[in-house]
Amino acid sequence: MIVAILGAGPAGMSCANACLSFGLTPIVIEQSNQIGGIQLGNFHPNLWLLGEPEETGREMSLRMARHFAALPLRCLTQALIVGVEGAAGDFRLKLETAHGGETLQADAIVLATGTYPRSTPALAALAEQSQQVIVGPLSESIRDDIRSARVLILGGGDNALDHALFLAERGNQVRVCTRRRFSARQPFQETCKANPNIELRNDCVPDDLQREENHIVATWGRIKVRYDWLLAMFGYLPNSAVLDIFAPELKPALSTSGHVLTDVWQRTNVPGIYAAGDLTETPQPSVPTALAQGLVAARAVELDA
């Protein structure tokens, strides 16, 4: 039985590994040129995975990728899915790969495409213009390049305040602005408030942001402030755009936030299609959750065969 797994992050890799244990034949399809998922850009220790307390997200992803690469399965990287048709037991996935077009037959499909950093069109355009604008927390520039600088962070969650503390410890002056109130865990908020290099501001979204030479100018009414760096940390959105190319009858139901809805066995409402990892509406998005859901999805495929 062939299982097409879309995405080679923790959920996809876990699902493929489990498929082999259950006597299934996984084929993994990854749009980028490398396996490991979004955690490849995480230079922080992964707090949620027991057993390696000092291991960074990148180190963890590379460790998992090495295991995955040794598995006896087919993995297509730099493969773009351009169409999905058929039904359970006879799905047909049309691909564009580095070697040309290909049609792949599969009995089941597991969606494991994860998430991407939330942004706005204006911020995305600004990030294209300037390397001093970073969208999302997964950037080595945050770790290596920001020193003795004025930094504006937009966002009020854990990532925003965690990075404010990280940067303040490296000699930076940090202002954190959120649209309404801060949603970060209280210990983060209290620690930031006690740090003289951090300023927390509620109801403080800039009216305008512009690039000016090597600076970013933020405007609040008549007040303009020049910053060396701008970090936008608005959380993540599900990578569900791949469903746009699915035949209408094969598109799983989504939550209001755009996450794929599943039951406890990671089944969607479409027979033969499953979903695992941060693409789903899980109470605690994390690598351990993604690993477990990948395993459960593989088991469900075996049970439904």
Q: What is the pLDDT of residues 112-148, one digit of tens each?
A: 999 999 999 999 999 999 999 999 988 889 999 999 9
Within 8 A by CB and 6+ apart from 135, the residues are 117, 119, 123, 124, 127, 232
Residue 47 has pLDDT above 90, yes or no: no
DSSP helix/strand/coil, 20 = helix
Considering the segment(s) 119-232 as one domain, its CATH architecture is 3-Layer(bba) Sandwich (3.50)
For residue 299, give both structure tokens: 């088991």
Residue 110 burial class via C-beta count within 10 angstroms: exposed 0-12, middle 13-18, buried 19 and up: buried
Tell which CATH classification among 1.10.10.10, 3.90.400.10, 3.50.50.60, 3.40.50.300 matches the domain 2-116+236-304.
3.50.50.60
Rounded to an integer, the average pLDDT of 43-70 is 92
Write out pLDDT tens, residues 161-191. Answer: 999 999 999 999 999 999 989 999 998 899 9
Q: What is the pLDDT of residue 202?
A: 92
In this prediction, residue 88 carries a pLDDT of 96
Q: What angle do CA 214, 217, 223 make, to 5 degrees?
A: 150
Does pLDDT of 55 surpass 90?
yes
CATH 3.50.50.60 domain range(s) in the chain: 2-116+236-304, 119-232
Q: Residue 98: what pLDDT?
A: 85
How confident is the model at residue 161, as a pLDDT?
A: 95
pLDDT > 70: what percent of the chain?
Answer: 100
pLDDT digits (tens, 9 = 90+) for 229-264: 999 999 999 999 999 999 999 999 999 999 999 999
Whether pLDDT at 52 is above 90? no
Q: Find the mean pLDDT for residues 40-62.
A: 90
pLDDT digits (tens, 9 = 90+) for 281-305: 998 899 999 999 999 999 999 999 9
pTM of full prediction above 0.75: yes
Q: 44 falls in which pLDDT band (50, 70, 90)?
A: confident
Largest CA distance in the chain: 66
Cβ–Cβ < 8 Å for 252, 260: yes
Mean pLDDT of the chain: 95
Mean pLDDT (whole number) for 200-224: 93
Q: Residues 6 or more apart from 185 whose CB is under 8 A from it?
A: 158
